[in-house]
Amino acid sequence: MPALLEIRGLSAGLRGRRSVTPVVSDVDLDVQAGEILGVVGESGCGKSTLAAAIMRLLVPPQVLQSGSMNFRLADGSYDLAQLPARELRQLRWRQLSYIPQGSMNSLNPVLRVERQMTDTLLQHGLTKAEAHKRSVAALELVNLEPKILESYPHELSGGMRQRVIIAAAVSMRPALIVADELTTALDVVTQRQILQELAAIRDELGATIILITHDMGVVAQIADRVAVMYAGKIAELGTVNGIFEAPLHPYSQGLIGSIPRESGQRVEGLPGEAPSPWKYPGGCRFHPRCPEVFAPCNERIPALLPQKPERRVACHLYDAEVAADA
Ligand X SMILES: Nc1ncnc2c1ncn2[C@@H]1O[C@H](COP(=O)(O)OP(=O)(O)O)[C@@H](O)[C@H]1O
CB of 305 to ligand SF4, least distance (A): 11
The binder of 287, among ligand X, ligand SF4, another protein, none, by C-beta within 5 to 8 A per type, is ligand SF4
How many whole angstroms from its chain centre is CA 67?
17
Cβ atoms of residues 195 and 188 within 8 Å: no
Among 47, 92, 312, 316, binds another protein (CB under 8 A): 92
The site map against ligand SF4 for 242-271 (x = CB under 6 A) is -------xx---------------------
Question: Any contact of residue 75 with another protein (CB under 8 A)?
Answer: no
**β 225-230/233-239 pair status:** antiparallel
Among 159, 238, 247, 275, binds another protein (CB under 8 A): 159
Among 224, 149, 162, residue whose Cα is nearest residue 192: 162
CB of 145 to Mg ion, least distance (A): 31
Among 155, 187, 245, 299, binds another protein (CB under 8 A): 155
**Cβ closer to another protein: 57 or 301?**
57
Among 97, 208, 213, 252, binds another protein (CB under 8 A): 97
Number of residues this chain uses to bind ligand SF4 (CB under 6 A): 13
- Pick out residues in 155-184 that bind ligand SF4 (CB under 6 A): none
Q: b/e string for 53-66 if b means 16 or more Cβ within 10 A?
A: bbbbebeeebebbe
CB of 190 to another protein, least distance (A): 9
Residues 6+ away with beta carbon under 8 Å from 76: none
φ/ψ of 118, rounded to 5, equals -95, -20
**Cβ closer to another protein: 111 or 246?**
111
Number of residues this chain uses to bind Mg ion (CB under 5 A): 2
Helix (H) or strand (E) holding 78: strand 76-79
Cβ atoms of residues 274 and 44 within 8 Å: yes
Cis peptide before 61 (omega within 30 of 0): yes
Question: Any contact of residue 293 with ligand SF4 (CB under 6 A)?
Answer: yes
| H-assigned helices in 109-267 | 113-123, 128-141, 158-170, 188-205, 216-222, 240-245, 250-257
Among 109, 167, 113, 169, residue whose Cα is nearest residue 140: 167
φ/ψ of 129, rounded to 5, equals -65, -45
| Dist CA 196 CA 67 (whole Å) | 34
The binder of 57, among ligand SF4, ligand X, another protein, none, by C-beta within 5 to 8 A per type, is another protein
Question: Any contact of residue 105 with another protein (CB under 8 A)?
Answer: yes
Question: Any contact of residue 48 with Mg ion (CB under 5 A)?
Answer: yes
**β 176-180/96-99 pair status:** parallel
Q: b/e string for 73-101 if b means 16 or more Cβ within 10 A?
A: eeeeebebbebeeeebeebbbbbbbbbbb
CB of 13 to ligand X, least distance (A): 9
Among 93, 230, 251, 318, binds another protein (CB under 8 A): 93
Question: Any contact of residue 183 with ligand X (CB under 6 A)?
Answer: no
Q: Which residues bind ligand X (CB under 6 A)?
A: 14, 23, 41, 43-49, 61-62, 276-277
Which residues here bind ligand SF4, judged by CB under 6 A? 249-250, 284, 286-287, 290, 292-293, 297, 302, 315-317
- Residues forming contacts to another protein in the complex (CB under 8 A) are 55, 57, 59-60, 88-94, 97-98, 100, 102-112, 115, 119-120, 123-124, 143-145, 147-148, 150-152, 154-157, 159-160, 165, 168, 193
